[in-house]
Every structure is written in structure tokens, then in C-alpha cells.
């Protein structure tokens, strides 16, 4: 049974995964117990465990970069989403101030015109800000995709070391190259 509560490299976090990164061992274990069919669950709770030995440094670094890129991506996406909402809000305000200006009696026109002009500028600013967050979002997405590619490449480079570690730490393993069940082809 997994002992760590934080994320880390692990063996068999699903019946189709020999090795991977698990962001939260306890959460994953709970999820396995709650969702996996009984026979799969029974096998997984024995096989799913943190890697104890040394994962090649290059793999650790590549995973770290990927996690950081993911975090940056989520942050950029949230900022973009927020900017989209702000822009939408500024359009609504702009429409309202325009309507108020159009319908105002002559003595109120000047003050409402100022409000209308301000809302127009706010709208342009919000649009500009959203274009920036969109660019940052796209850039973060590309970096994230690139970090996954890099991680896979590095993993492939060190696969023999990891497989050797797997054999050592997971003896009697039913992994057949595709799943932990020998009957799966």
C-alpha cells in the first residue's frame, strides 16, 4: 500500500500503467477503491506503490519541468478566463452607458457622455488586456505540450534503467506490457 501522501513516481497507478507520476497517492488509492472493479482493485492496491529507488535525474528534472509548465498553464488559462469575463462586463457597461446617454434629457447629456466615453476606453483596455492574456495562454499551452514531449523523450532514453528498477521493486509482477492481467492481449 502506498505510504506517501504527496505526489511522486509510482508503479501501477492503473491496470494499464506500469510506471508514472502520481500527483496524490492517497487520493489515487481512494479513487481505485471507489471505482475499480473488485478483481482489478485487489491487484492494484498491492501493486500500486511509490518508487523507492533512484529514478534517473534527467527523468526527475523533465517531470519537474512538465509539472511547472502545467501549473503555469493553469494560471495563464485562469487569467485569460478572467480577462474574457472582464471584457464581457465592460461591453455590457458600455452598452448601458451608451443607452443612458442616448436617452438622457439635454441637461444630463454632458455628464453621461463622459461616462460613455470612459466606458468605451475601459472596453478597449479590457480588450487589449484580454489579447495579452490570450497570447500568454497560448504560449503556456505550447510550453506545456513541449514539456510533455520532452518528458516522453527523456523517459524513452532511460526506459531500461526504469524497467530494471521495476523488476527489482515489483517482483512477481503480472504486467504483460499492456496491462497487469496476463489474459489481456
Alpha carbon separation from 112 to 50, 71, 108, 147 (Å, rounded): 65, 44, 6, 52
Of 166, 180, 147, 153, nearest in space to 67 by CA: 147
Kindly state the smallest distance separating residue 56's Cβ from Zn ion, in Å: 18
Site size toward Zn ion (CB under 5 A) is 3
Interface pattern 155-184 for Zn ion (x via CB under 5 A): ---------------x--x-x---------
Separation between Cα atoms, residue 21 and residue 10, nearest integer Å: 6
Helix H or strand E segment including 117: helix 109-157
Number of H helices, E strands in the chain: 5, 3
45 lines the binding site for Zn ion (CB under 5 A): no
Per-position x/- string for 114-153, each x denoting binding to Zn ion as judged by CB under 5 A, each - no binding: ----------------------------------------
What's the min distance (Å) between Cβ of 75 and Zn ion? 35
Are the C-beta atoms of residues 103 and 113 closer than 8 Å to each other?
no
Minimum gap (Å) between residue 80 Cβ and Zn ion: 41
Query: Which residue ranges make up the site for Zn ion (CB under 5 A)?
Result: 170, 173, 175
Amino acid at each position: 500500500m502506498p505510504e506517501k501522501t504527496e505526489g511522486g513516481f509510482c508503479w501501477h497507478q492503473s491496470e494499464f500503467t506500469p510506471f508514472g507520476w502520481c500527483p496524490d497517492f492517497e487520493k489515487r488509492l481512494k479513487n481505485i477503491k471507489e471505482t475499480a472493479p473488485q478483481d482489478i482493485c485487489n491487484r492494484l492496491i498491492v501493486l500500486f506503490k511509490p518508487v523507492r529507488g533512484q529514478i534517473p535525474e534527467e527523468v526527475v528534472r523533465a517531470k519537474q519541468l512538465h509539472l511547472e509548465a502545467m501549473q503555469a498553464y493553469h494560471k495563464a488559462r485562469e487569467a485569460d478566463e478572467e480577462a474574457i469575463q472582464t471584457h464581457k462586463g465592460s461591453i455590457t457597461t458600455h452598452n448601458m452607458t451608451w443607452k443612458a446617454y442616448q436617452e438622457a434629457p439635454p441637461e444630463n447629456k454632458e455628464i453621461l457622455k463622459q461616462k460613455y466615453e470612459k466606458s468605451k476606453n475601459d472596453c478597449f483596455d479590457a480588450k487589449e488586456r484580454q489579447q495579452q492574456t490570450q497570447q500568454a495562454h497560448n504560449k503556456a499551452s505550447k510550453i506545456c505540450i513541449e514539456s510533455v514531449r520532452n518528458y516522453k523523450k527523456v523517459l524513452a532514453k532511460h526506459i531500461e534503467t526504469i524497467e530494471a528498477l521495476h523488476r527489482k521493486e515489483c517482483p512477481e509482477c503480472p504486467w504483460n506490457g499492456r496491462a497487469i492481467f496476463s489474459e489481456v492481449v
